Amino acid sequence: MTGRKALVLHGPNLNLLGTREPGVYGRATLAEVDRMVRDHARRLGWRVECRQSNFEGQLVDWLQGAEREGFAGVVFNPGAFTHYSLALRDAVAAIRVPVVEVHLSNVHGREEFRRQSVIAPVARGQISGFGPHSYLLGLDALARGARGRSTPRG
């Protein structure tokens, strides 16, 4: 047990997982995704806290507070904010805690507007298209980075 702690943030509309466009986002509910995330974190020897908000400012506050709250990294699905929220981009850029951007769907294979992420350039990396497993891969990336073997930024 390393005692490391990760913060998993879900953005807008992800509270509707399970019933929201199941052909795109699958049938797992947010509670089920969070259970998978917690089980995977345990296997990695990490603790995890999962939070969801439909509000941009709340997500900004959680990002700003991540270091103070003792989180070693953030796995972040910004939902539609991915594509236009400069406030979230600035928050990710402002903090020292590494942030991995994740998406359930493959944002690069959908509508044109989803191909742009304003978050990705300031995140450690982006994982997209593996359903709930995107979050688990995000945790793997944080755990790997924390062991000092991450690839360089940029």
Could you tell me how many residues of this chain bind ligand DQA (CB under 6 A)? 10
The one segment of 30-38, 46-54, 77-85, 86-94 that binds ligand DQA by CB under 6 A: 77-85
Asked about 135 being catalytic, the answer comes back as no
- Does 77 engage in binding with ligand DQA (CB under 6 A)? yes
**Cβ proximity of 78 and 91 under 8 Å:** no
- Does 47 engage in binding with ligand DQA (CB under 6 A)? no
The one segment of 29-37, 85-93, 100-108, 145-153 that binds ligand DQA by CB under 6 A: 100-108
Q: Which residues are catalytic?
A: 25, 103
Binding residues for ligand DQA, per CB under 6 A? 13, 77, 79-80, 82, 103-105, 107, 114
